[in-house]
């Protein structure tokens, strides 16, 4: 009963964050950490008491459950709010951004550069296939693991040798990493205008 809030939090946290391989020991430790944080917050704000207690009287054991509705609601609320909050922080790499800002590390919380780039750069792609064809589209879905490496392109269009976009009639295309040579992340119209302006300024100074 003591670990139930932490177990709920651990399940929700792993639903929100990227898919990672965790051992049973990792999940137990994660549940302990969430449980500890929940009870600390409860104790500082409302006053903590166990939701269930075991009483033994004259060799008779009885289980007494809490009758405090506020304690039960607050415990369940924290079991949901905390993993959602931590899930957002981990997903958007906010904690590691802070550490990079103060020059403590240059790492991210993600496992691969593949995951970093696809998470941070939300833009149209041009995929160069190994057979020298080019395919443009929007990456609606992608694997967070480069070893799996699937990319689902919506609004797909083939690019011919004259750089003309030939739109397909398909809803989307699922592409395997093994067929990809390299990937271009396309500039937005705003970025292109800024680049042109900078180039003109540089040419004027020259």
- Going residue by residue through the chain, which has 206 residues, state the pLDDT in tens, using 9 for 90 and above: 788 899 999 999 988 887 777 788 888 999 999 999 999 999 999 888 777 777 777 777 777 777 778 888 999 999 999 999 999 898 888 889 999 999 988 888 887 888 888 888 889 999 999 999 999 999 999 887 767 778 999 989 999 989 999 988 889 999 988 899 999 999 888 888 888 777 777 777 66
DSSP state string for 158-170: EE-TT--EEE-SS
**Which pLDDT belongs to residue 49?**
78
Give the integer Cα–Cα distance in Å for 194 and 188: 10
Q: Is 74 left (phi over 0), alpha (psi -120 to 50) or beta?
A: alpha
Chain position carrying tokens 């709920």 = 8
- Which of 121, 140, 142 is CA-nearest to residue 185? 121
Q: What are phi and psi of 165, to 5 degrees?
A: -85, 125
Other C-beta atoms closer than 10 Å to the C-beta of 68 total 14
- Single pTM value for the model: 0.69
Q: What is the pLDDT of residue 146?
A: 67
- Rounded to 5°, the CA angle 98-103-107 comes to 70
Contacts of 19 by beta carbon, 8 Å cutoff, 6+ apart: 144, 145
Q: Are 109 and 119 in contact (CB under 8 A)?
A: no
Domains and CATH numbers, the chain: 4-100 (no CATH), 113-187 (2.30.30.100)
């Amino acid at each position: 009963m003591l670990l139930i809030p932490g177990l709920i939090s651990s399940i929700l946290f792993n639903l929100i964050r990227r898919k990672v391989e965790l051992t049973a020991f990792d999940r137990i430790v994660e549940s302990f950490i969430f449980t500890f944080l929940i009870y600390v917050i409860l104790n500082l704000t409302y006053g903590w008491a166990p939701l269930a207690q075991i009483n033994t009287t004259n060799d008779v054991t009885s289980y007494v459950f809490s009758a405090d509705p506020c304690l039960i609601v607050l415990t369940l609320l924290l079991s949901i709010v905390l993993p959602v909050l931590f899930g957002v922080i981990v997903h958007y790499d906010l904690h590691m951004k802070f550490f990079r800002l103060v020059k403590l590390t240059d790492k991210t919380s993600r496992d691969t550069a593949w995951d970093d780039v696809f998470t941070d750069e939300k833009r149209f792609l041009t995929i160069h296939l190994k057979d020298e064809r080019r395919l443009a589209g929007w990456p609606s879905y992608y694997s967070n693991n480069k070893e799996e490496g699937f990319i689902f392109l919506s609004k797909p269009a083939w690019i011919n040798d004259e750089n003309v976009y030939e739109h397909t009639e398909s809803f989307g295309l699922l592409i395997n990493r093994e067929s990809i040579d390299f990937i271009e992340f396309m500039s937005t119209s705003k970025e292109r205008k800024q680049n042109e302006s900078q180039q003109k300024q540089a040419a004027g100074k020259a």
